[in-house]
Amino acid sequence: MIATRALAAFCVLALLAGVSAEAKDRTQSITIRAGKADSPNHALARQFAEAIAVAANGAVTLDVQESQGSIDNVMEAPKRSGNYIFTTSPNVIAQARRGEKPFKPDPRYREIRALFPIPPLTVQWVVRQDSDITSLADLAGHSFIPGPRGSISERLTTAALQTLGIERRVQLIDVDVPAAPAALKGNQVSGLAMSGSYPVPTLVDLARATPIRLITLPSANIAKVIAGDDSTAAEVIPKGTYPGVDTDVTTLSVPAGAYTTTRMRQATAYAITKAFWSQHAALVQHNPPWQAVTGTALPTLRVRLHPGALRYYDEAGITVPKALR
């Protein structure tokens, strides 16, 4: 009986991938900061925290805290202990390391390391399926809702139209987000842009009510946008993501990830990373946006992996770009 109990205790700790070696790791407390409570990244952080907690089976507690956003999260990184995880876009880390405003130069930003990607904010360009618009270039002479001013969808739509040389030939309409789908359904506009982790529920509902087409941006234009904006990346929305959309669509996104610092112990980073990926299938099942996160998304992290996380990826046979090692 004693031997059986000992074996069971060992197996529980093994679910956190080796953190059982030291007693103090049995009930670690990890702080996660991820934007305001109503932000997409905060919701994603709660989801991956719950998944990790399930895999840890009580060996770790994760406290998801509200923050002012990615910039605030990165500013906190040099001040925090090793048990700190935060979400941000990699370009914000690059900005901090360059000491660009609002950041002040601090060598400790070099200590930030990556753990795993989270679903990116992806721009989705939508038109009616019964229209003759099959590319962004076809929008010339048409009206289009790019999204709220200052939003990711508005910024990247403008950038894409500029690469095509038609930004002055498209009538951009400023419409509230809730009213945009109705405007498209009613043929009041030719199309709309929306950013979010796909599938966006609003677009799923729209596709069920009115057949839609998602527009692909040619690779040459994507390269031009990325060259001028280091916050962006190419993203493929798989066919079948939305009803009636039966081809893959290549568009632009703003990638993001879960990060920590070199002060996190290697065993902890390894355990957290392994726990996350062990629950990935369950995450996708309950929260479809996680389908965008696979091993092939690692390059979008654009920051060296924590040695503990790197150990997991190497053991799992996941290809890691040289720049992340």
61's tokens: 């507690």
Sign of CA dihedral 75, 76, 82, 83: negative
What is the predicted pLDDT for the residue at 16? 45
The domain over range 121-254 is classified in CATH as 3.40.190.10 = yes
- Which single residue is written with the structure tokens 């799992």? 316
What is the predicted pLDDT for the residue at 26? 56
257's tokens: 């990830």
122's tokens: 């992806």
What is the predicted pLDDT for the residue at 97? 97
Q: Do the Cβ atoms of 252 and 162 come closer than 8 Å?
A: no
What is the predicted pLDDT for the residue at 51? 94
CATH 3.40.190.10 segments of the chain: 2-118+257-324, 121-254
Whole-angstrom distance, CA of residue 74 vs CA of residue 97: 10
* CATH number listed for the domain at residues 2-118+257-324: 3.40.190.10
What is the predicted pLDDT for the residue at 27? 67
Whole-angstrom distance, CA of residue 65 vs CA of residue 304: 25
Mapped onto helix, strand or coil, the DSSP state of residue 111 is helix
Nearest in space to 121 (alpha carbons), one of 259, 253, 295: 253
41's tokens: 């990244």
- Burial of 21 from C-beta contacts in 10 A (0-12 / 13-18 / 19+): exposed
Q: Which residues of the chain have pLDDT under 50?
A: 1-25
What pTM does this model have? Answer: 0.87
Residue 33: C-alpha distances to residues 36, 181, 196, 214 (Å):
9, 33, 20, 33
What is the predicted pLDDT for the residue at 50? 94
